[in-house]
Structure 1
Amino acid sequence: MRKLLLLIVVFLTWTISGQNGEEYVVFENVVITPNPSKIKDFQQHMAEHNKKYHTDDVYGCRVYAIVTGPNTGKFVWSMGPIPWSSIDNRPAQGGHDEHWNTMVMPTLLPEANASYWRSHPEFSNFPRDFKLDKLRLTYYDIKRGMGNFDKIKEIIGRVAKMNKEKYPDDIYGVYTNEFGSTNEGKDVVFVDFFESSAKLGEQDENWISNYNAVNGAGSFDRDIKTWFELTNGSERELWILVPELSGKTAAVKIN
Protein backbone atom coordinates (compact mmCIF):
# COMPACT_ATOMS: atom_id res chain seq x y z
CA MET A 1 0.00 0.00 0.00
CA ARG A 2 2.91 2.32 0.68
CA LYS A 3 4.20 1.96 -2.88
CA LEU A 4 0.71 2.46 -4.29
CA LEU A 5 0.36 5.85 -2.68
CA LEU A 6 3.92 6.79 -3.48
CA LEU A 7 3.14 6.28 -7.15
CA ILE A 8 0.60 9.07 -7.14
CA VAL A 9 3.51 11.48 -7.31
CA VAL A 10 4.09 10.54 -10.93
CA PHE A 11 1.05 12.37 -12.18
CA LEU A 12 2.42 15.76 -11.35
CA THR A 13 4.93 15.18 -14.13
CA TRP A 14 2.19 15.46 -16.72
CA THR A 15 1.86 19.17 -16.04
CA ILE A 16 5.52 19.78 -16.81
CA SER A 17 6.72 19.74 -20.41
CA GLY A 18 10.10 21.24 -21.04
CA GLN A 19 9.78 24.09 -18.59
CA ASN A 20 12.16 27.00 -19.26
CA GLY A 21 13.25 25.29 -22.48
CA GLU A 22 15.39 22.80 -20.59
CA GLU A 23 15.99 19.51 -22.36
CA TYR A 24 14.99 16.35 -20.56
CA VAL A 25 16.22 12.79 -20.92
CA VAL A 26 14.50 9.54 -21.84
CA PHE A 27 15.16 5.84 -21.71
CA GLU A 28 14.69 3.79 -24.86
CA ASN A 29 13.36 0.36 -23.84
CA VAL A 30 12.92 -2.42 -26.39
CA VAL A 31 11.30 -5.68 -25.31
CA ILE A 32 12.80 -8.52 -27.36
CA THR A 33 12.22 -12.27 -27.48
CA PRO A 34 15.12 -14.63 -28.24
CA ASN A 35 14.45 -17.54 -30.56
CA PRO A 36 14.47 -20.57 -28.22
CA SER A 37 16.48 -22.56 -30.76
CA LYS A 38 19.19 -19.85 -30.92
CA ILE A 39 19.74 -18.94 -27.28
CA LYS A 40 23.51 -19.45 -27.38
CA ASP A 41 23.82 -17.35 -30.53
CA PHE A 42 21.63 -14.68 -28.98
CA GLN A 43 23.81 -14.49 -25.87
CA GLN A 44 27.03 -14.38 -27.87
CA HIS A 45 26.03 -11.76 -30.42
CA MET A 46 24.05 -9.56 -28.03
CA ALA A 47 27.06 -9.41 -25.72
CA GLU A 48 29.41 -8.65 -28.62
CA HIS A 49 27.19 -5.87 -29.90
CA ASN A 50 26.61 -4.08 -26.62
CA LYS A 51 30.17 -4.33 -25.34
CA LYS A 52 31.47 -2.88 -28.60
CA TYR A 53 28.90 -0.17 -29.39
CA HIS A 54 26.99 0.63 -26.19
CA THR A 55 29.35 1.23 -23.30
CA ASP A 56 29.49 5.03 -22.99
CA ASP A 57 27.32 7.29 -20.85
CA VAL A 58 25.06 8.55 -23.63
CA TYR A 59 24.54 5.46 -25.78
CA GLY A 60 25.32 2.83 -23.19
CA CYS A 61 22.77 0.10 -22.60
CA ARG A 62 21.78 -2.50 -20.06
CA VAL A 63 19.94 -5.75 -20.73
CA TYR A 64 17.37 -7.05 -18.27
CA ALA A 65 15.57 -10.38 -18.04
CA ILE A 66 11.85 -10.03 -17.30
CA VAL A 67 11.02 -12.60 -14.64
CA THR A 68 7.34 -11.94 -13.83
CA GLY A 69 4.10 -11.37 -15.72
CA PRO A 70 3.11 -12.13 -19.31
CA ASN A 71 6.53 -11.03 -20.63
CA THR A 72 8.44 -13.59 -18.56
CA GLY A 73 11.28 -15.04 -20.64
CA LYS A 74 11.73 -11.89 -22.69
CA PHE A 75 14.49 -9.31 -22.33
CA VAL A 76 14.58 -5.52 -22.20
CA TRP A 77 17.31 -3.70 -24.09
CA SER A 78 17.48 -0.35 -22.28
CA MET A 79 19.53 2.65 -23.47
CA GLY A 80 19.78 5.86 -21.48
CA PRO A 81 19.39 8.28 -19.95
CA ILE A 82 19.72 10.13 -23.24
CA PRO A 83 18.38 13.53 -24.42
CA TRP A 84 16.18 13.54 -27.49
CA SER A 85 18.77 15.71 -29.27
CA SER A 86 21.23 12.81 -29.16
CA ILE A 87 18.90 10.16 -30.58
CA ASP A 88 19.66 11.05 -34.20
CA ASN A 89 23.39 10.62 -33.59
CA ARG A 90 23.17 7.16 -32.08
CA PRO A 91 25.72 4.60 -33.28
CA ALA A 92 25.04 3.58 -36.87
CA GLN A 93 28.38 3.59 -38.61
CA GLY A 94 31.50 1.53 -37.99
CA GLY A 95 29.64 -1.71 -38.47
CA HIS A 96 26.98 -1.06 -35.80
CA ASP A 97 23.89 -1.48 -37.95
CA GLU A 98 25.40 -4.29 -39.98
CA HIS A 99 26.28 -6.24 -36.83
CA TRP A 100 22.80 -5.78 -35.34
CA ASN A 101 20.99 -6.68 -38.56
CA THR A 102 23.11 -9.67 -39.56
CA MET A 103 24.17 -11.11 -36.20
CA VAL A 104 21.65 -10.11 -33.52
CA MET A 105 18.35 -9.90 -35.41
CA PRO A 106 18.50 -13.50 -36.72
CA THR A 107 18.57 -14.74 -33.10
CA LEU A 108 15.28 -13.00 -32.23
CA LEU A 109 11.66 -13.83 -32.85
CA PRO A 110 9.88 -11.33 -35.16
CA GLU A 111 8.21 -9.44 -32.32
CA ALA A 112 9.29 -6.40 -30.35
CA ASN A 113 7.87 -3.49 -28.39
CA ALA A 114 9.80 -0.23 -28.22
CA SER A 115 8.94 2.61 -25.86
CA TYR A 116 10.47 5.87 -24.64
CA TRP A 117 10.16 6.84 -20.99
CA ARG A 118 10.78 10.37 -19.82
CA SER A 119 12.80 10.63 -16.64
CA HIS A 120 11.53 12.97 -13.94
CA PRO A 121 14.35 13.52 -11.45
CA GLU A 122 12.38 16.28 -9.77
CA PHE A 123 9.92 13.65 -8.57
CA SER A 124 12.35 10.76 -8.16
CA ASN A 125 14.75 10.20 -5.29
CA PHE A 126 18.40 9.30 -5.78
CA PRO A 127 20.08 10.32 -2.52
CA ARG A 128 23.23 8.22 -2.99
CA ASP A 129 25.12 5.94 -5.37
CA PHE A 130 23.19 2.77 -6.16
CA LYS A 131 22.99 -0.18 -8.54
CA LEU A 132 20.55 -0.88 -11.35
CA ASP A 133 20.60 -4.57 -10.53
CA LYS A 134 17.03 -5.52 -9.63
CA LEU A 135 14.07 -3.38 -10.67
CA ARG A 136 10.47 -3.54 -9.53
CA LEU A 137 8.24 -1.65 -11.97
CA THR A 138 4.63 -0.67 -11.37
CA TYR A 139 2.77 0.70 -14.39
CA TYR A 140 -0.49 2.63 -14.07
CA ASP A 141 -3.25 3.27 -16.57
CA ILE A 142 -4.96 6.65 -16.13
CA LYS A 143 -8.60 7.07 -17.00
CA ARG A 144 -9.29 9.52 -19.76
CA GLY A 145 -11.44 12.49 -18.88
CA MET A 146 -11.19 16.23 -18.46
CA GLY A 147 -10.56 17.26 -14.90
CA ASN A 148 -9.09 13.96 -13.71
CA PHE A 149 -5.64 15.41 -13.47
CA ASP A 150 -6.78 18.42 -11.48
CA LYS A 151 -8.44 16.12 -8.96
CA ILE A 152 -5.26 14.22 -8.21
CA LYS A 153 -2.79 17.13 -8.11
CA GLU A 154 -3.66 17.92 -4.52
CA ILE A 155 -2.98 14.29 -3.56
CA ILE A 156 0.35 14.37 -5.39
CA GLY A 157 1.50 17.28 -3.26
CA ARG A 158 0.57 15.49 -0.05
CA VAL A 159 2.34 12.28 -1.07
CA ALA A 160 5.49 14.15 -2.05
CA LYS A 161 5.47 16.06 1.22
CA MET A 162 5.06 12.90 3.29
CA ASN A 163 7.83 11.02 1.48
CA LYS A 164 10.23 13.91 1.82
CA GLU A 165 9.66 14.07 5.55
CA LYS A 166 9.42 10.37 6.40
CA TYR A 167 11.37 8.44 3.73
CA PRO A 168 14.21 10.66 2.47
CA ASP A 169 16.59 7.72 1.85
CA ASP A 170 14.31 5.64 -0.39
CA ILE A 171 15.66 5.16 -3.94
CA TYR A 172 13.08 5.23 -6.74
CA GLY A 173 12.49 6.70 -10.17
CA VAL A 174 9.39 8.19 -11.80
CA TYR A 175 8.88 8.05 -15.57
CA THR A 176 6.13 8.91 -18.05
CA ASN A 177 5.46 7.23 -21.38
CA GLU A 178 6.30 9.55 -24.27
CA PHE A 179 4.11 7.54 -26.68
CA GLY A 180 1.44 6.04 -24.47
CA SER A 181 -1.32 3.84 -25.84
CA THR A 182 -4.86 3.49 -24.52
CA ASN A 183 -4.71 -0.18 -25.52
CA GLU A 184 -1.51 -0.90 -23.64
CA GLY A 185 -2.46 1.14 -20.58
CA LYS A 186 1.06 2.02 -19.47
CA ASP A 187 1.03 5.76 -18.92
CA VAL A 188 3.38 6.15 -16.00
CA VAL A 189 5.74 3.89 -14.12
CA PHE A 190 7.32 3.85 -10.71
CA VAL A 191 10.65 2.01 -10.57
CA ASP A 192 11.99 0.72 -7.28
CA PHE A 193 15.73 -0.08 -7.36
CA PHE A 194 17.11 -2.66 -4.95
CA GLU A 195 20.02 -5.09 -4.59
CA SER A 196 18.47 -7.81 -2.42
CA SER A 197 15.21 -9.63 -3.10
CA ALA A 198 14.57 -9.50 0.65
CA LYS A 199 13.24 -5.99 0.00
CA LEU A 200 10.23 -7.51 -1.74
CA GLY A 201 9.09 -8.99 1.55
CA GLU A 202 9.41 -5.83 3.59
CA GLN A 203 6.27 -4.36 5.10
CA ASP A 204 5.95 -0.88 6.55
CA GLU A 205 3.16 -0.90 9.10
CA ASN A 206 3.69 2.80 9.82
CA TRP A 207 3.19 4.15 6.31
CA ILE A 208 -0.51 4.93 6.62
CA SER A 209 -0.09 6.47 10.06
CA ASN A 210 2.82 8.54 8.74
CA TYR A 211 0.68 9.73 5.85
CA ASN A 212 -2.12 10.74 8.18
CA ALA A 213 0.32 12.38 10.58
CA VAL A 214 1.72 14.61 7.84
CA ASN A 215 -1.47 15.29 5.90
CA GLY A 216 -4.19 15.11 8.54
CA ALA A 217 -6.42 12.47 10.10
CA GLY A 218 -8.38 10.45 7.52
CA SER A 219 -6.32 11.75 4.59
CA PHE A 220 -5.19 8.27 3.54
CA ASP A 221 -8.68 6.83 3.18
CA ARG A 222 -9.86 9.93 1.34
CA ASP A 223 -6.95 10.02 -1.08
CA ILE A 224 -6.83 6.31 -1.83
CA LYS A 225 -10.51 6.43 -2.75
CA THR A 226 -9.79 9.21 -5.25
CA TRP A 227 -6.80 7.29 -6.57
CA PHE A 228 -8.92 4.27 -7.47
CA GLU A 229 -11.53 6.49 -9.08
CA LEU A 230 -8.92 7.93 -11.46
CA THR A 231 -7.09 4.79 -12.58
CA ASN A 232 -8.00 1.70 -14.59
CA GLY A 233 -5.55 -0.56 -12.84
CA SER A 234 -1.89 -1.44 -12.67
CA GLU A 235 0.68 -3.98 -13.84
CA ARG A 236 3.90 -5.04 -12.16
CA GLU A 237 7.12 -6.56 -13.46
CA LEU A 238 10.47 -7.57 -12.01
CA TRP A 239 13.58 -7.04 -14.12
CA ILE A 240 16.96 -8.60 -13.34
CA LEU A 241 20.13 -7.19 -14.91
CA VAL A 242 22.09 -9.56 -17.15
CA PRO A 243 25.59 -8.02 -16.89
CA GLU A 244 27.21 -10.38 -19.39
CA LEU A 245 24.85 -9.10 -22.10
CA SER A 246 25.02 -5.42 -21.13
CA GLY A 247 27.29 -2.63 -22.29
CA LYS A 248 27.13 -0.77 -18.96
CA THR A 249 27.51 -2.04 -15.43
CA ALA A 250 24.85 -1.80 -12.73
CA ALA A 251 26.65 1.01 -10.89
CA VAL A 252 25.16 4.51 -10.93
CA LYS A 253 27.13 7.42 -9.52
CA ILE A 254 25.25 10.38 -8.09
CA ASN A 255 27.11 13.65 -8.50
Structure 2
Amino acid sequence: MRKLLLLIVVLLAWTVSGQNNGEYVVFENVIITPNPAKMGDFKKHMADHNKKYHADDVYGCRVYAIVTGPNTGKYVWSMGPIPWSSVDSRPAQGGHDEHWNNMVMPTLLPMANATYWRSHPELSNFPNDFKLDKLRLTYYDIKRGWGNFDKIKAIVAKITKMNKEKYPNEVYGIYTNEFGSTKEGKDIVFVDFFENSAKLGEQDDNWISNYDEVNGAGSFERDVKTWHELTNGSERELWILAPELSGRTAEVKVN
Protein backbone atom coordinates (compact mmCIF):
# COMPACT_ATOMS: atom_id res chain seq x y z
CA MET A 1 0.00 0.00 0.00
CA ARG A 2 2.76 2.43 0.81
CA LYS A 3 4.07 2.13 -2.74
CA LEU A 4 0.95 4.08 -3.60
CA LEU A 5 2.47 7.17 -2.05
CA LEU A 6 5.69 6.83 -4.02
CA LEU A 7 4.37 5.76 -7.40
CA ILE A 8 0.96 7.33 -7.84
CA VAL A 9 1.13 10.29 -5.49
CA VAL A 10 -2.39 9.25 -4.71
CA LEU A 11 -4.29 8.94 -1.48
CA LEU A 12 -2.50 8.23 1.25
CA ALA A 13 -9.27 8.93 11.98
CA TRP A 14 -8.59 8.32 13.26
CA THR A 15 -10.97 5.95 14.76
CA VAL A 16 -13.36 3.46 13.31
CA SER A 17 -16.20 5.71 12.23
CA GLY A 18 -19.42 4.38 10.88
CA GLN A 19 -23.00 5.46 10.76
CA ASN A 20 -24.71 6.69 13.92
CA ASN A 21 -28.50 6.38 13.71
CA GLY A 22 -28.26 7.09 9.99
CA GLU A 23 -25.91 10.04 10.45
CA TYR A 24 -22.38 10.23 9.24
CA VAL A 25 -19.68 11.29 11.63
CA VAL A 26 -17.01 13.96 11.53
CA PHE A 27 -13.81 14.91 13.30
CA GLU A 28 -13.34 18.43 14.57
CA ASN A 29 -9.66 19.34 14.20
CA VAL A 30 -8.31 22.61 15.52
CA ILE A 31 -4.69 23.59 14.86
CA ILE A 32 -3.42 25.61 17.82
CA THR A 33 -0.11 27.31 18.54
CA PRO A 34 1.19 27.42 22.12
CA ASN A 35 2.88 30.58 23.30
CA PRO A 36 6.55 29.52 23.69
CA ALA A 37 6.81 31.68 26.82
CA LYS A 38 3.91 29.79 28.42
CA MET A 39 4.67 26.22 27.34
CA GLY A 40 4.50 24.82 30.87
CA ASP A 41 1.13 26.44 31.54
CA PHE A 42 -0.15 25.27 28.15
CA LYS A 43 0.65 21.64 28.86
CA LYS A 44 -0.81 21.75 32.37
CA HIS A 45 -4.07 23.47 31.51
CA MET A 46 -4.60 21.60 28.24
CA ALA A 47 -4.15 18.28 30.04
CA ASP A 48 -6.46 19.33 32.89
CA HIS A 49 -9.14 20.47 30.46
CA ASN A 50 -9.16 17.42 28.22
CA LYS A 51 -8.96 14.83 30.97
CA LYS A 52 -11.89 16.46 32.77
CA TYR A 53 -14.17 17.44 29.89
CA HIS A 54 -13.10 15.36 26.87
CA ALA A 55 -12.48 11.81 28.05
CA ASP A 56 -15.75 10.14 26.99
CA ASP A 57 -16.67 8.39 23.75
CA VAL A 58 -18.73 11.20 22.24
CA TYR A 59 -16.75 14.30 23.15
CA GLY A 60 -13.40 12.65 23.74
CA CYS A 61 -10.36 14.26 22.17
CA ARG A 62 -6.77 13.53 21.33
CA VAL A 63 -3.97 16.04 20.96
CA TYR A 64 -1.25 15.59 18.35
CA ALA A 65 2.04 17.38 17.81
CA ILE A 66 2.67 18.25 14.16
CA VAL A 67 6.29 17.35 13.42
CA THR A 68 6.65 18.00 9.66
CA GLY A 69 5.79 20.78 7.23
CA PRO A 70 4.95 24.46 7.76
CA ASN A 71 2.86 23.67 10.86
CA THR A 72 5.74 22.03 12.73
CA GLY A 73 5.62 23.02 16.40
CA LYS A 74 1.86 23.41 16.43
CA TYR A 75 -0.70 21.00 17.89
CA VAL A 76 -3.94 19.51 16.63
CA TRP A 77 -6.83 19.25 19.07
CA SER A 78 -8.99 16.49 17.54
CA MET A 79 -12.49 15.55 18.76
CA GLY A 80 -14.47 12.70 17.27
CA PRO A 81 -15.88 10.71 15.70
CA ILE A 82 -19.04 12.67 16.44
CA PRO A 83 -22.33 13.06 14.52
CA TRP A 84 -23.31 16.60 13.61
CA SER A 85 -26.39 16.29 15.83
CA SER A 86 -24.15 16.10 18.91
CA VAL A 87 -21.92 19.06 18.09
CA ASP A 88 -24.32 21.66 19.52
CA SER A 89 -24.57 19.85 22.84
CA ARG A 90 -20.84 19.65 23.45
CA PRO A 91 -19.80 20.18 27.08
CA ALA A 92 -20.73 23.70 28.13
CA GLN A 93 -21.71 23.23 31.72
CA GLY A 94 -19.68 22.49 34.81
CA GLY A 95 -17.13 25.16 34.05
CA HIS A 96 -16.06 23.84 30.64
CA ASP A 97 -16.17 27.12 28.76
CA GLU A 98 -14.80 29.11 31.67
CA HIS A 99 -11.84 26.76 32.03
CA TRP A 100 -11.02 26.88 28.32
CA ASN A 101 -11.40 30.66 28.07
CA ASN A 102 -9.63 31.56 31.31
CA MET A 103 -6.96 28.87 31.59
CA VAL A 104 -6.21 27.40 28.14
CA MET A 105 -6.70 30.36 25.80
CA PRO A 106 -4.17 32.64 27.57
CA THR A 107 -1.45 30.05 26.84
CA LEU A 108 -2.06 30.16 23.07
CA LEU A 109 -0.99 32.52 20.34
CA PRO A 110 -3.93 34.28 18.60
CA MET A 111 -4.02 32.02 15.55
CA ALA A 112 -6.02 28.86 14.91
CA ASN A 113 -7.51 26.85 12.07
CA ALA A 114 -10.57 24.66 12.60
CA THR A 115 -11.74 22.03 10.11
CA TYR A 116 -14.38 19.31 10.07
CA TRP A 117 -13.56 16.07 8.31
CA ARG A 118 -16.23 13.58 7.25
CA SER A 119 -15.32 9.95 7.71
CA HIS A 120 -15.81 7.56 4.79
CA PRO A 121 -15.77 4.04 6.26
CA GLU A 122 -16.75 2.58 2.88
CA LEU A 123 -13.44 3.82 1.47
CA SER A 124 -11.36 3.05 4.57
CA ASN A 125 -10.00 -0.12 6.10
CA PHE A 126 -10.21 -0.87 9.83
CA PRO A 127 -9.76 -4.66 10.02
CA ASN A 128 -8.24 -4.87 13.50
CA ASP A 129 -7.92 -3.03 16.76
CA PHE A 130 -5.21 -0.41 16.41
CA LYS A 131 -3.60 2.62 18.03
CA LEU A 132 -3.81 6.26 17.05
CA ASP A 133 -0.21 6.87 17.98
CA LYS A 134 1.46 8.09 14.78
CA LEU A 135 -0.49 9.48 11.82
CA ARG A 136 0.77 10.09 8.32
CA LEU A 137 -1.60 12.38 6.43
CA THR A 138 -1.65 13.23 2.75
CA TYR A 139 -4.05 15.99 1.68
CA TYR A 140 -5.11 16.49 -1.94
CA ASP A 141 -6.45 19.58 -3.66
CA ILE A 142 -9.22 18.62 -6.08
CA LYS A 143 -9.64 20.92 -9.07
CA ARG A 144 -12.87 22.83 -9.41
CA GLY A 145 -15.25 21.23 -11.86
CA TRP A 146 -18.56 19.43 -11.99
CA GLY A 147 -18.17 15.77 -11.07
CA ASN A 148 -14.47 15.94 -10.20
CA PHE A 149 -15.05 14.92 -6.61
CA ASP A 150 -17.06 11.86 -7.62
CA LYS A 151 -14.38 10.83 -10.12
CA ILE A 152 -11.74 11.04 -7.38
CA LYS A 153 -13.86 8.95 -5.04
CA ALA A 154 -14.29 6.33 -7.79
CA ILE A 155 -10.51 5.95 -8.02
CA VAL A 156 -10.22 5.78 -4.24
CA ALA A 157 -12.82 3.01 -4.26
CA LYS A 158 -10.59 1.03 -6.63
CA ILE A 159 -7.62 1.55 -4.32
CA THR A 160 -9.67 0.39 -1.35
CA LYS A 161 -10.88 -2.69 -3.23
CA MET A 162 -7.31 -3.64 -4.07
CA ASN A 163 -5.99 -2.96 -0.58
CA LYS A 164 -8.69 -5.03 1.10
CA GLU A 165 -7.89 -7.94 -1.20
CA LYS A 166 -4.08 -7.70 -1.29
CA TYR A 167 -3.29 -5.86 1.98
CA PRO A 168 -6.20 -6.75 4.28
CA ASN A 169 -4.40 -5.84 7.51
CA GLU A 170 -3.39 -2.33 6.47
CA VAL A 171 -5.19 0.27 8.60
CA TYR A 172 -6.08 3.62 7.04
CA GLY A 173 -8.92 6.10 6.84
CA ILE A 174 -10.32 8.37 4.11
CA TYR A 175 -11.85 11.71 5.07
CA THR A 176 -13.24 14.70 3.16
CA ASN A 177 -13.28 18.33 4.22
CA GLU A 178 -16.77 19.57 5.09
CA PHE A 179 -15.73 23.21 4.66
CA GLY A 180 -12.92 23.12 2.16
CA SER A 181 -11.52 26.23 0.48
CA THR A 182 -9.74 26.74 -2.82
CA LYS A 183 -7.12 28.82 -1.00
CA GLU A 184 -6.15 26.07 1.43
CA GLY A 185 -6.50 23.23 -1.06
CA LYS A 186 -7.24 20.43 1.40
CA ASP A 187 -10.26 18.57 0.05
CA ILE A 188 -9.57 14.91 0.79
CA VAL A 189 -7.07 13.23 3.09
CA PHE A 190 -5.68 9.74 3.46
CA VAL A 191 -4.67 8.98 7.06
CA ASP A 192 -2.24 6.12 7.58
CA PHE A 193 -2.00 4.85 11.17
CA PHE A 194 1.14 3.16 12.45
CA GLU A 195 3.05 2.50 15.68
CA ASN A 196 6.62 2.09 14.43
CA SER A 197 8.39 4.71 12.30
CA ALA A 198 10.11 1.91 10.37
CA LYS A 199 6.84 1.73 8.43
CA LEU A 200 7.75 5.01 6.77
CA GLY A 201 10.63 3.29 4.98
CA GLU A 202 8.68 0.32 3.68
CA GLN A 203 8.20 -0.12 -0.06
CA ASP A 204 6.19 -2.56 -2.10
CA ASP A 205 7.37 -3.31 -5.61
CA ASN A 206 4.21 -5.30 -6.31
CA TRP A 207 1.71 -2.51 -5.70
CA ILE A 208 1.17 -1.58 -9.35
CA SER A 209 0.83 -5.17 -10.53
CA ASN A 210 -1.60 -5.88 -7.69
CA TYR A 211 -3.66 -2.83 -8.66
CA ASP A 212 -3.87 -3.99 -12.27
CA GLU A 213 -4.66 -7.55 -11.23
CA VAL A 214 -7.65 -6.45 -9.14
CA ASN A 215 -8.92 -3.58 -11.31
CA GLY A 216 -7.97 -4.74 -14.81
CA ALA A 217 -4.89 -4.57 -17.00
CA GLY A 218 -3.73 -1.01 -17.63
CA SER A 219 -5.99 0.45 -14.94
CA PHE A 220 -3.09 1.84 -12.92
CA GLU A 221 -1.75 3.92 -15.80
CA ARG A 222 -5.23 5.19 -16.73
CA ASP A 223 -6.14 6.08 -13.16
CA VAL A 224 -2.84 7.85 -12.52
CA LYS A 225 -3.44 10.02 -15.58
CA THR A 226 -6.99 10.81 -14.45
CA TRP A 227 -5.82 11.54 -10.91
CA HIS A 228 -3.25 14.06 -12.11
CA GLU A 229 -5.81 15.72 -14.35
CA LEU A 230 -8.23 16.19 -11.42
CA THR A 231 -5.87 17.41 -8.69
CA ASN A 232 -3.59 20.39 -8.14
CA GLY A 233 -1.13 18.66 -5.87
CA SER A 234 -0.74 17.38 -2.34
CA GLU A 235 0.59 18.20 1.11
CA ARG A 236 1.82 15.75 3.72
CA GLU A 237 2.14 15.91 7.50
CA LEU A 238 3.22 13.60 10.29
CA TRP A 239 1.37 13.81 13.62
CA ILE A 240 2.50 12.25 16.90
CA LEU A 241 0.04 11.69 19.75
CA ALA A 242 0.66 13.61 22.96
CA PRO A 243 -1.06 11.24 25.43
CA GLU A 244 -0.29 13.45 28.40
CA LEU A 245 -2.38 16.24 26.84
CA SER A 246 -5.22 14.06 25.53
CA GLY A 247 -8.52 13.07 27.02
CA ARG A 248 -8.52 9.66 25.31
CA THR A 249 -5.85 7.03 24.89
CA ALA A 250 -4.38 5.84 21.60
CA GLU A 251 -6.25 2.51 21.65
CA VAL A 252 -9.16 1.95 19.28
CA LYS A 253 -11.38 -1.10 19.45
CA VAL A 254 -12.89 -2.15 16.16
CA ASN A 255 -15.50 -4.44 17.66
TM-score (norm 1): 0.91
Which residue of structure 2 lines up, in the alignment, with residue 198 of structure 1?
A: 198
Q: CA RMSD in A?
A: 2.0
- Alignment-mate amino acid for residue 247 of structure 2: G
Equivalent residues of 2:162, 2:215 under 8 A apart: yes
Aligned to 2:163, the other structure's residue is in SS state: helix
Which residue of structure 1 lines up, in the alignment, with residue 84 of structure 2?
A: 84
CA 1:89/1:2 → structure 2, altered by over 3 Å: closer, same or farther?
Answer: same
- Alignment-mate amino acid for residue 69 of structure 1: G
> How much identity, in percent, do the aligned residues show?
80
Which residue of structure 1 lines up, in the alignment, with residue 137 of structure 2?
A: 137
1:3-14 alignment, distance < 5 Å: 3=5, 7=10
Report how many aligned residue pairs link the two structures: 246
Shift of 1:209: 1.1
Aligned to 2:40, the other structure's residue is in SS state: helix
Note the alpha carbon deviations across 1:109-157, whole angstroms, 9 max, x for none: 0000001101111111110110000000000000011243455465344
Aligned to 1:168, the other structure's residue is in SS state: coil
In 1, the alpha carbon distance for the partners of 2:157 and 2:99 equals 48
1:62-101 alignment, distance < 5 Å: 62-101=62-101
In 1, the alpha carbon distance for the partners of 2:253 and 2:215 equals 33
- Alignment-mate amino acid for residue 184 of structure 1: E
Shift of 1:36: 0.6
Per mean C-alpha deviation after superposition, the further-off stretch among 198-207 and 145-154 is 145-154
Aligned to 2:79, the other structure's residue is in SS state: strand
Which residue of structure 2 lines up, in the alignment, with residue 2 of structure 1?
A: 4
In 1, the alpha carbon distance for the partners of 2:246 and 2:153 equals 38
Shift of 1:169: 1.1
Shift of 1:83: 0.7
2:199 is the alignment partner of 1:212: no
Which residue of structure 1 lines up, in the alignment, with residue 16 of structure 2?
A: none
Unaligned 5+ segments in structure 2 are 13-18
Shift of 1:6: 9.1
Note the alpha carbon deviations across 1:184-205, whole angstroms, 9 max, x for none: 0000110000000000000011
Which residue of structure 2 lines up, in the alignment, with residue 162 of structure 1?
A: 162
2:168 is the alignment partner of 1:183: no
Shift of 1:7: 4.8
Which residue of structure 2 lines up, in the alignment, with residue 16 of structure 1?
A: none
Equivalent residues of 1:8, 1:155 under 8 A apart: no
Which residue of structure 2 lines up, in the alignment, with residue 146 of structure 1?
A: 146
Equivalent residues of 1:29, 1:115 under 8 A apart: yes
Equivalent residues of 1:6, 1:159 under 8 A apart: no
